[in-house]
Structure formats: structure tokens, C-alpha cells
Amino acid sequence: MSYVMEKMAALGYKITPQRRIILDILHRSNKHLTADEITERVKAIEPSVSLATVYRNLSMLVDIQIVSKLDLHEGPTRYEINAGHNHHLVCLNCGDAVKLGVCPIEDRIQNIIDDCGFQVNSHHFEITGLCKQCQY
């Protein structure tokens, strides 16, 4: 996680105790977390941190591309450490998101982009449905 701290410092942002806790929680999580889930975990460490503080910091971390946000169709926004691509299987019932290890833009779509002379600045790919637990 030190690369995240180095990137923040290089961009001129202070590494406050609240930001460090939020980033540590996201780094240790094996799933995407909502702001409420992050706040609950932050409060277990530092009870004085408010939901507004968590939202403010998440917004800033998203703006500087250290954290990615996943806006689900009907569910709450979820957050994760930005590790590059954001391609997911998303459960429409519980909101669980599984990161895909492949990028669909790498092959045929890239050829179309090249043929059209299109300049991509970002992309997102998600497949929605029901996870194994929600199918029953």
C-alpha cells in the first residue's frame, strides 16, 4: 500500500490519519465496500470519524484516481483501491461485485477503436446478474 501513499504525496495531498485508515480498510478488503461499510469499519478504529468525513475523503480519493467507485444499477456505490481496470460481475440483488481478471477491450474492441481513430481515456465493463447465493 506504500505506492498509494507515495502517489498521494507526489500529487501534493496530505496523508491524514482518516485517509490512512480508509485506504487500509479498502486495501485489506476482499470485496467492494459501500461508504456505510467503510464508515462502520473506520469507527471501530477511530470512533470520532463521521460519515461525512468518509464521503469527503472517498470523493477526493476517487478524483485523484487512487480509489475507484462502482455505481451499481439499483444499489449503493461501492469502492475499492484503484488497481487499473475495473471489470466486474455484479449481483443485482446483494450488490456483490467480483473483479474480472480479463479486459474485453484488449482484442476485437481495440481493433475497432484503432480503426475509428478513437482516443479512449477510460472504460468500464460489467456483467450483471445474480450471484450463486442470491439465485436460491
Q: What is the pLDDT of residue 59?
A: 95
**Number of domains present in the structure of the chain:** 2
Q: CA 114 from chain center: how many Å?
A: 28
Domain containing 78 equals 1-84
- Regarding whether 74 and 7 lie in a shared domain, the answer is yes
- Is 94 annotated among the ligand-binding residues? yes
- Is 123 annotated among the ligand-binding residues? yes
Q: What is the pLDDT of residue 35?
A: 95
pLDDT tens-digit readout, 110-130: 888 889 999 876 667 778 889
State the DSSP string of 73-120.
Answer: SSS--EEEE--S--EEEEETTT--EEE-S--GGGTHHHHHHHHHT---
pLDDT tens-digit readout, 26-69: 999 877 899 999 999 999 999 999 999 999 999 999 999 889 88
- Regarding whether 80 and 90 lie in a shared domain, the answer is no
- Regarding whether 89 and 75 lie in a shared domain, the answer is no
- Is 6 annotated among the ligand-binding residues? no
- Check which CATH number belongs to the domain holding 26 and give it: 1.10.10.10
pTM: 0.73
- Is 103 annotated among the ligand-binding residues? no
